[in-house]
Amino acid sequence: MATNEHPMNGGDGKISYARNSLAQKKSVDASKKFISEAIAELFDIEFDPTKGSSMGIRIADLGCATGPNTFYAVQNIIDAIDSKFKRSLEFQVFFNDHVNNDFNILFRSLPFPRQYFPVGVPGSFYGRLFPKHSIDLIHSSSSLNWLSRIPKDVADINSPAWNGDSIYCKGKEVAKAYSSQYKEDFENFLNARALELVGGGLLVLVFGGIPNGSSFNQTTIGKDYEILGSSMVDMANKGLISKEKVESFNLPLYYASPSEIEKLIQDNGCFSIERMETFPGTRKNIVNLQMWPMTVRAAFEAMIRNHFGGEMVEELFEIYNKKHSDNVSIFEGDDVLTLVQLNIVLKRKN
């Protein structure tokens, strides 16, 4: 499988992911109580009496980026397990992201002291990452919206799904191509996790979606990507980048609706849906108009650099930032929707 890797900005400088991931942090916060309660009620492990009190619990966070959000999320999970079992447990935490993620920064910013043995796992979570039956709880936050690759047809001028100079999932045929790639990825994800989790193990997923019955370009984030795309078109019109490059650029991001996700999980069949909650993002929380452009840059810069070359990046984000603040009004219409946050707990069928 050809995969696109799209590392978040590394390091810990001004435009690093580590310092520009407040939106992702909000998702972690919004799922905290939900996850604690799910663990209290659903997380069952068999204690091996031959091992006395030395039971080890293995937790994985998939799509960890460079921190710090992953550390909050993991600590919340450990606290919930600790308060459930009230015995001395040893935790091993597997932090996973693409091989091009900046693991050096991740490791150097690990909390200290900490209550777990940390481990880094390089690789795409759309494939296998762990031996069979080796993980007790897998968590993933703000990562499952990233596709393993751009749907082939959207960049093919001869396809009805050709996306022209739009850079995101917009229009019926394009949405169909995105949805089909998402289905393939999500199935691969579930199949891999089903092998890796112990029987009864939990899969805790937090990611964004569109409200049932809506389309992505109605959402604030969709409108934001529209601005990013039109900034690229502006640059092409000025002859600063090629039109073909803009036409072949598409964001590998997809936001499904809750009912679409539910169907994918049921069709897959490896997991029971134990909890599923959609959490309405308030407009203010999700689009913090001052912070958002930096969040977008930290997440997308590497991918844009990779496609267009590095020379255009500064100017692109200047244009984008200006457009963004000049067009605040488009986020404020009555028909504008915010994405929902999906909080889902799945249990591996035995």
Minimum Å gap between C-beta 120 and a copy of itself is 4
Report the C-alpha gap between 225 and 232 in whole angstroms.
11
**Runs of H (alpha helix) within 44-111:** 69-85, 103-108
Minimum Å gap between C-beta 308 and a copy of itself is 23
| Torsion sign across C-alpha atoms 230, 234, 240, 245 | positive
Shorter beta-carbon distance to a copy of itself: residue 108 or 322? 108
Shorter beta-carbon distance to a copy of itself: residue 160 or 199? 199
Give the number of other CB atoms < 10 A from CB of residue 199.
11
Shorter beta-carbon distance to a copy of itself: residue 103 or 126? 103
Minimum Å gap between C-beta 288 and a copy of itself is 31
210: DSSP letter: P
Question: Could you tell me if 23 and 288 are in contact, meaning their C-beta atoms sit under 8 angstroms apart?
Answer: yes
Nearest to 349 by CA among 276, 274, 277: 274
116: DSSP letter: E
Q: For the stretch 245-271, what's the b/e string if a residue is b when 16 or more beta carbons lie within 10 angstroms of its beta carbon?
A: ebbbbbbbbbbbbbebbbebbeebebb
Kindly list the residues in this chain that would bind a copy of itself in the complex (CB under 8 A): 51, 54, 56, 58, 90-92, 94, 99-100, 102-104, 107-108, 110, 117-123, 128-134
Minimum Å gap between C-beta 130 and a copy of itself is 6
Shorter beta-carbon distance to a copy of itself: residue 121 or 240? 121
Shorter beta-carbon distance to a copy of itself: residue 206 or 298? 298
Minimum Å gap between C-beta 173 and a copy of itself is 35
Report the C-alpha gap between 1 and 17 in whole angstroms.
27
Shorter beta-carbon distance to a copy of itself: residue 89 or 206? 89
Pairing of the two strands 271-280 and 340-348:
antiparallel
Minimum Å gap between C-beta 294 and a copy of itself is 24
Shorter beta-carbon distance to a copy of itself: residue 95 or 308? 95
Nearest to 250 by CA among 312, 165, 126: 165
Minimum Å gap between C-beta 195 and a copy of itself is 9
Shorter beta-carbon distance to a copy of itself: residue 130 or 254? 130
Report the C-alpha gap between 299 and 9 in whole angstroms.
6
Minimum Å gap between C-beta 16 and a copy of itself is 15
Report the C-alpha gap between 1 and 262 in whole angstroms.
25
